[in-house]
Structure 1
Amino acid sequence: MALFDLPLEELRGYRSLSAEPADFDAFWTKTLDDAREHDLDARFERVDSALASVQVHDVTFAGFGGHPVKGWLVLPAGTREQVPVVVEFLGYGGGRGLPHTHLLWASAGFAHFVMDTRGQGSGWANGDTADPVGSAPAVPGYLTRGIEDPHEFYYRRVFTDAVRAVEAARAHPLTDASRTAAVGMSQGGGVALAVGGLVPDLVAIAPDVPFMCDFPRATTFTDRPPYREVGDYLRTHRGRTEQAARTLAYFDGVHFAARGRAPALFSAAMEDQTCPPSTVFAAFNAYAHEDKQIEVYDFNDHEGGGPFQEAVQLRWLPGRLTA
């Protein structure tokens, strides 16, 4: 795919037209307060992963509604003192998979907490967390589940799970709660961005080619899923465009970015039709913390930088986690 979005010099000044709801902060404060009425009940069960360099714990904690959410905690083998923790959120359709696929951050000397995504985990990696909440008729996928009402929207549950995942990661005696970072790619990047706006004391976030940013542009600019799910829904449910836009505004990464309190490392890919670069730059340009940077991959699609971006993170993140 040839370059299709705005030129880079225009992207660096691009601003989203997404309108922030007047009660955005009140909505999320009430959501998280309700979640915290349930005991976090973070449980860590040591498992035999057949890996000599790490120790692995099967994690269960209470997310939105007190629903059980799974995860992995991967620590460097022999860890006896507290270490910084990297909390990772996963891409669309995938689950936590198997422990041996999560070795990067433990190999760098950190604790690595991987949150399973409720109701997903049947695409590119298996998952173990159900979503016990139903919804009105929706397009296959997740982006239109509960889109009629922000209180019922699927990602209200996921973002709440993610905040609780940070709390669960910090609950383990070998993690240093004061040195916590959030990372993720695509959907995981969008979740990391939301967590960065909802958790006030992270030391860093690293959203790669993040999904769920600048919904007004994304849902009208690309034909690729997942954003296309919204258009397909509205094609059938005529007359609900304003209602859907109102719901999505509570989950737009642009508004979470405006509340970002930690240093941030973004990435964007100029040929990315899944999360177009303008939508990523909309969040980056709105990001509130002055310590922010973005890596741009000129001729890449949604794979972005892949291992090259991981290499950038391995140089950038330790300086924040160990400062």
Structure 2
Amino acid sequence: MATREDLENFVSRVTRPEDFGDYWTGVLEGLAEIPLEPQETPAPIRSNADVHVSQVSYHSLGGLEIACWYCVPTGGDGPFPAILHFPGYKGEPGIRRDWGSKGVITLTVAVRGKLRSNSQFDPGYPGLLTHGIEDRDTYSYKGLISDCVRGVDFLLSRPEVDPERIYACGSSQGGGLTLITAALRPEIKGGVSGYPFLCCYAEAMQMLRSYPYDELNCYARAYPSRVSQMLETLRYFDAVNFAGWI
């Protein structure tokens, strides 16, 4: 367990694999070949005088359908700025009417495993952080990151969105996903990342004994022969390794 002094003096390390850029370029190219096929269903019971709310969906990695709440201001002159809002590890994405009432479009993404996006993928909690971790191409977060990237594609397909004013935000897991998505998609012009999760996995395993990071320690105790491969996989999904691209 880390002491307060350990935490205050901690400095993150970039551990980017040599083929990191090529790998993520390939992921993005593969996603671009998947038809987005967006769908929108108005939600009048969730709307108000200032904000029109819809449930939307689009297709992501593996053909999974990803659900979102989409809030659009009813007044003012568009196109409007837009914010992608990414969920935490355990929390469910909410409906951001508060931002809509201020003239900002919001898309809150229910990444795979969340309610409304879990019919084909639902590893549970705990479980998500280590699902498929034996290989970078089967790891759960390849899918979650892809779901966030596709949210950018959805916003760019909408005439009411100003493509020069797309932003991202989130806290904890959402904070990590904000950093990673902003690194992969230069169309995101700014972001707010609150106490980001998905960072410094190897160090977190040593310093912390709380979930979700401790899920990695539980996995290591159960499968000691797989620890080396687990840590290698995580290097491709560490937000610190993406930060230099933002």
TM-score > 0.5, shorter chain as reference: yes
Larger mean CA deviation between 61-70 and 103-112 belongs to: 103-112
Q: Tell me the distance in 1 between the aligned counterparts of 2:161 and 2:170.
A: 19
1:147-184 Cα shifts (integer Å, max 9, x gaps) = 10010000000001100011112212211112100100
SS in 1 for 2:178: helix
The one-letter code of the counterpart of 2:149 is V
Residues 61 and 146 in structure 2, CA contact (< 8 A), matched pair in contact too? yes
Q: CA deviation at 1:80?
A: 4.8
Work out which of the residue numbers 129, 143, 151 in structure 1 matches 2:117: 129
Structure 1 position 73 matched with structure 2 position 70: yes
Q: Does 1:106 align with 2:106?
A: no
**Percent of residue pairs bearing the same amino acid type:** 30
- How far apart are 1:96 and its partner, in Å? 2.8
Distance, in Å, in 2 between the alignment partners of 1:141 and 1:205 is 28
List 4+ stretches of structure 1 deviating above 3 A. 5-8
What do residues 3-31 of structure 1 show as CA deviations (whole Å, max 9, x unaligned)? 725465x45xx232x52111111111111
Match among 19, 34, 39 for residue 35 of structure 2: 39
**Structure 1 residue ranges without an equivalent (≥5):** 121-126, 261-323
2: CA distance, partners of 1:112 / 1:239: 44
SS at match of 1:205: strand
> Which residue of structure 2 lines up, in the alignment, with residue 58 of structure 1?
55
Distance of 2:28 and 2:190 partners within structure 1: 21
Q: Distance in 2 between matches of 1:5 and 1:43?
A: 50
Asked if 1:254 corresponds to 2:244, the answer is no
Segment of structure 1 superposing worse, 77-86 or 63-72: 77-86
Contact 1:183–1:207 (CA under 8 A) maintained in structure 2: yes
Alignment map for 1:271-286 (pairs within 5 Å):
none
**TM-fit CA distance, 1:216:** 1.6
Matched, 1:119 2:113: yes
In the superposition, the TM-score normalised over structure 1's length comes to 0.71
- In structure 2, distance between residues paired with 1:180 and 1:15: 28
Q: Among 154, 159, 173, which residue is 1:173 paired with?
A: 159
Please name the residue that 1:228 is paired with: 214
Q: Distance in 2 between matches of 1:191 and 1:227?
A: 16
Would the aligned equivalents of 2:81 and 2:105 in 1 still touch at CA under 8 Å?
yes
Secondary structure, in 3 states, of the residue corresponding to 1:176? strand
User: Secondary structure of the residue that 2:71 maps to in structure 1?
Assistant: strand
Distance 1:104 1:55 in 2: 12
1:188-207 matches, within 5 Å, as: 188-207=174-193
In structure 1, give the amino acid aligned to 2:116: D
- Find out whether 1:30 has 2:26 as its counterpart: yes
Alignment length (residue pairs): 244
Structure 2 portions without partners, runs of 5+: none
Write the deviation string for residues 254-275 of structure 1: whole angstroms up to 9, x where unpaired.
0111111xxxxxxxxxxxxxxx
